[in-house]
Structure 1
Amino acid sequence: MLNITLEQLSLFAATLAMAILSPGPAIIAVSQSAFAMGRRRALPYGWGLATGASLWCLTALLGLTVIFRILPWTFMAMKVLGGLYLIWIAIRMWRGARDPLPDPAEAQMGMTFWGGIALNLSNPKPALFYSAVLLSIFPTTLSFADKGLIYTTALSLEMGFYTAMACLMALPLLRRRYYAAKFWIDVIAACAIGMLGLSLILRQ
């Protein structure tokens, strides 16, 4: 039995859509993947990113954020580990900036479905975002069906966004421009992801 209304679900979807559109390491990563490897290789990576992002919604629904509140050190530990993971990705991207273009048949730098999940699980802040949004929009008591519908909505939005990004950034015109400026695009992407990882560790 559903306890949530269509209006509440629509508000949740609109809020999540606005949050997804804000720049972050996942957007940079899926764009770089599509530029370098094309749509066929970027799509599974994008789907992994979407799945990883949606899993934070699931953890919020299941009460992981309660643990963060009771044991703040667990959140800090996840932030540090996640930040270090992003910095590691940035270093690999920086080192590969002068490498020749990758073979589209080969995945690089963890640009696989599981690599996408790992990247979006490296930042625990979405769990707090989802928790805050869920608490502010929906009733405190949610049935199993409510939680299933909320998670399905989140997963569908994340999948739709990352699929669109992977397809858009793999368009021939954009890929040709990437080929012409691969070194600088990779360096800028590495710096952006590295700074995001560092800010994740340092920001309170």
Structure 2
Amino acid sequence: MVVTLAQLAVFVGTLAVAILSPGPGVIAVSQSAFAMGRARALPYGWGLAVGASLWCLFALLGLTVLFRVVPWTFVALKVLGGAYLVWIAWKMWRHAADPLPDPAEKRYGAGFWGGMILNLSNPKPALFYSAVLLSIFPAALTAADKAVIYATALTVELGFYTALATLMALPLLRRRYYAAKFWIDRVAAGLIGLLGLSLILRH
């Protein structure tokens, strides 16, 4: 192995700072924890974590090289991903006035697979991971190095989304959500919709 503990520490720090910036995954898991509670939000958060970490794996396997060689593939993924985020936002906006769902009731798109698909709908993390990997680690990575880097990224993502789902499901925060559900859902829908539109329109 050529990867050092110091390099992994820098990788973790860089990833932690990036994850803290609010994106569609952060907004979605927070809203899910408010509405459904910790038990229902955790699988969704874990799906988001796995989806985000897969972009690291794709970057390690050379997906960003494909984006550079065949630029339209990145554009196509951005448009499709942006359209999916806009669709999620429209559903959230339309159902803002609905009563709170029964925590025992299964909601389409709110489980593990829904979370994974949501974070896979934005291909920009592939470019982020590619830039970070190139700037921190040596160019020649062994299969073992790549496995360690991916496991590190997955651990950080899982830790973050687990903590976020747990925090946002605290009784005090949930009571605040109950009191202002309509406006919180509308704001969350607006933010996710803007992120989707920016993904489609920004070059």
> TM-score, normalising length from structure 2?
0.99
Shift of 1:106: 1.9
Aligned partners of 2:175 and 2:21: how far apart in 1? 26
- Equivalent residue for 2:24? 25
Which runs of 4 or more aligned residues in structure 1 lie more than 6 Å from their structure 2 counterparts after TM superposition?
Answer: none
Measured in 2, the distance between the counterparts of 1:190 and 1:201 equals 17
Structure 1 residue 109, shift from structure 2 partner: 4.8
| Corresponding position of 2:13 | 14
Give deviations 1:65-101, integer Å, cap 9, x for gaps: 1100000000000000000000000000011101010
Q: Equivalences for 1:35-114 in 2 at 5 Å?
A: 35-114=34-113
Partner of 2:188: 189
Match of 1:132 in 2: 131
Moved more, 21-30 or 108-117: 108-117
Q: Counterpart of 1:200 in structure 2: which amino acid?
A: L
Match of 1:4 in 2: 3
Instruction: List runs of 5+ in structure 2 lacking aligned partners.
Output: none
Residue number in structure 2 paired with 1:118 = 117
Distance 1:52 1:26 in 2: 10
Q: CA deviation at 1:108?
A: 2.6
The AA in structure 1 aligned to 2:61 is L
Native 8 Å contact 1:89 1:109 kept in 2: no
2:154 aligns with: 155
For 1:169, the aligned partner's letter is M
Aligned to 2:173: 174
Cα RMSD of the aligned pairs, angstroms, is: 0.6
Q: How far apart, CA to CA, are the structure 2 residues paired with 1:131 and 1:106?
A: 39
Letter in 2 for 1:31: S
Unaligned runs of 5+ in 1: none
Give distance in 1, aligned partners of 2:167 and 2:108.
21
Q: What SS is found at the alignment partner of 1:142?
A: coil
Query: How many residues are treated as equivalent by the alignment?
Result: 203
